């Protein structure tokens, strides 16, 4: 009787378990690895299937856009150009790449190439920041793939890359050095010796400042109410000129024509319409507080401004040859401006002096300098009034340091232009053909 009871009990449990079991059909007919490999193979076919390669852009985390050309093959090799500099724009470079499944399908440039230059942590390679370069990537997650375009995001710095299938003409443009020619054309702006440059287009004047290192153009113009409008946009090179990363009004870029020496203007085209760029001797609207900000920033941080090259004059960097300065025990390091010195008695003053590097001490110091007061004019100009020489050492009466001192005390004064959070340009109000760039 007891055995029968237990048998009935176990039989009920077995029936219940059997009733609870469900048969499930697989949703996919292949394993996840098989499906992933199929996706990577399809991506490879798209990349290698572009007979004329791909035009690409890479926008770094700093917002700087560079253009590229890529041609991928089935042996995991890629040939590329880039508009980073004249070499990358004219000499192709071959390296390797891989398509790999990480957290999602990814494109990895796994040997050093032009795309690595942007991410190189050595600032001497790309002009960026030590430790992070231009804050870019060489490993990218693949966001989307179509037959004629690919979108990617950098895996570490979230830089953005966009590939678009190139035409035969676009491939030829790189191979025939058309991007290099565009870079050289943009340098025609250096024929304009004035710091301030005006683009005249459709009856409107735009003050433009082109930063070729960080590939940005600063546009400033006056709106219908006479108020200054300023926009900073990136650019990249295309055959014949540049394209802006985003439009400024209806300006999407410009192609660069001939230099007109008789009028000192550079002929350009904007959207196929004629325009020109010429020099100006003052800002389109002076920043009346810029000089005060320059002075106050250093005072509040108890720091100083420095300029490696001193004054740029008539198209020549380090026009007074400060870098040639040396003594028996030291060599020139950079020019320093130290504001807001408060002696124990008497009025305050500012100091300008060259700093020298002393190898024996592995230190920088100064041998001589000059003291002065500073005057902020209501129109935005800044004037420097000579007080006297420092008593540390006798100031030279000729040569680079003397010429620099004479230039500082020019009676026309200077316009100040803020170019970054801790950087300013000081531009001669006489003709805007002389300026110094200061960094904190």
pLDDT tens for 82-101 read 999 999 999 999 999 999 99
Angle at 407 between CA 401 and CA 410, to 5 degrees: 150
- What pLDDT is recorded for position 22? 47
pLDDT tens for 209-268 read 999 888 999 999 999 999 999 999 999 999 999 999 999 999 999 999 989 988 999 999
Dihedral pair phi/psi, residue 184, rounded to 5°: -65, -35
pLDDT tens for 310-328 read 999 999 999 999 999 998 8
Q: Chain-wide mean pLDDT for the chain?
A: 91
- What pLDDT is recorded for position 80? 98
Boundaries of every domain in the chain: 32-176, 181-280, 290-439
Which fold would CATH assign to domain 181-280?
Lipocalin (2.40.128)
> The domain 32-176: what is its CATH number?
2.40.128.640
- What pLDDT is recorded for position 6? 47
Cα 217 to Cα 79, 153, 213, 285, 325, distances in angstroms: 30, 25, 11, 17, 34
Which residue stretches of 260-315 are H helix?
A: 290-300
Lowest-pLDDT range of 30-34, 35-39, 268-272: 30-34
pLDDT tens for 58-86 read 999 998 999 999 999 999 999 999 999 99
- Both tokens of 311, joined, read 């004054």
Give the DSSP letter string of 198-261.
EEEETTEEEEEEEETTTTEEEEEEE-TTS-EEEEEEEEEEETTEEEEEEEETTEEEEEEEEEET
- What pLDDT is recorded for position 315? 94
- Grade residue 396 by pLDDT with cuts at 50, 70 and 90: very high
pLDDT at 51 over 90: yes
- Grade residue 344 by pLDDT with cuts at 50, 70 and 90: confident
Closest to 318 in 3D by CA, of 436, 193, 196, 190:
436
- Both tokens of 190, joined, read 């250096």
Q: How far apart are CA 407 and CA 397, in angstroms?
A: 13
- What pLDDT is recorded for position 336? 97
| Contact (Cβ atoms closer than 8 angstroms) between residue 71 and residue 79 | yes
| Contact (Cβ atoms closer than 8 angstroms) between residue 144 and residue 46 | no
The pTM assigned to this predicted structure is 0.81
CATH of 290-439, one of 1.10.760, 2.40.128, 2.20.25, 1.20.1300: 2.40.128
């Amino acid at each position: 009787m007891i055995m029968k009871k237990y048998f009935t009990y176990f039989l009920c449990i077995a029936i219940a378990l059997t009733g609870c079991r469900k048969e499930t059909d697989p949703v996919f007919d292949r394993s996840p690895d098989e499906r992933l490999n199929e996706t990577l193979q399809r991506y490879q076919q798209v990349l290698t299937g572009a007979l004329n390669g791909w035009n690409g852009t890479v926008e770094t985390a700093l917002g700087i856009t560079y253009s590229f050309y890529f041609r991928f093959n089935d042996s995991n090799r890629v040939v590329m150009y880039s508009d980073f500099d004249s070499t990358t724009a004219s000499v192709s470079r071959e390296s390797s790449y891989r398509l790999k499944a990480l957290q999602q399908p990814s494109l990895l440039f796994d040997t050093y190439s032009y795309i690595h230059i942007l991410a190189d942590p050595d600032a001497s390679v790309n002009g960026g920041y030590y430790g992070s370069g231009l804050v870019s990537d060489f490993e990218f997650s693949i966001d989307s793939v179509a037959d004629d375009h690919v979108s990617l995001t950098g895996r570490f710095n979230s830089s953005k890359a966009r590939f678009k299938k190139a035409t035969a003409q676009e491939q030829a443009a790189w191979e025939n050095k058309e991007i290099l020619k565009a870079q050289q054309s943009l340098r025609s702006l250096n024929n304009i010796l004035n710091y301030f440059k005006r683009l005249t287009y459709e009856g409107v004047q735009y003050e433009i400042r082109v930063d070729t290192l960080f590939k940005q153009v600063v546009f400033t113009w006056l709106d219908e109410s006479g108020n200054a409008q300023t926009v900073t946009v990136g650019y990249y090179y295309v055959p014949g000129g540049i394209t802006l990363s985003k439009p400024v009004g209806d300006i999407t870029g410009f192609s660069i024509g001939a230099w007109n020496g008789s009028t000192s203007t550079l002929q350009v085209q904007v959207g196929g319409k004629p325009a020109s760029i010429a020099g100006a001797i003052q800002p389109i609207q002076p920043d009346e507080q810029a000089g005060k900000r320059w002075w106050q920033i250093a005072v509040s941080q108890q720091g100083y401004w420095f300029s490696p090259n001193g004054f740029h004059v008539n198209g020549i960097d380090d026009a007074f040859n400060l870098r040639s300065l040396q003594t028996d025990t030291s060599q020139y390091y950079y020019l320093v401006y130290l504001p807001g010195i408060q002696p124990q008695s008497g009025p305050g003053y500012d100091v300008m002096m060259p700093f020298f590097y002393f190898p024996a001490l592995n230190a920088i110091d100064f041998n001589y300098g000059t003291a002065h007061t500073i005057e902020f004019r209501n129109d935005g100009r800044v004037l420097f009034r000579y007080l006297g020489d420092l008593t540390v050492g006798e100031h030279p009466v000729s040569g680079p340091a003397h010429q620099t001192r004479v230039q500082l005390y020019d009676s026309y004064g200077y316009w100040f232009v803020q170019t970054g959070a801790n950087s300013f340009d000081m531009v001669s109000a006489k003709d805007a053909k002389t300026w110094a760039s200061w960094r904190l």
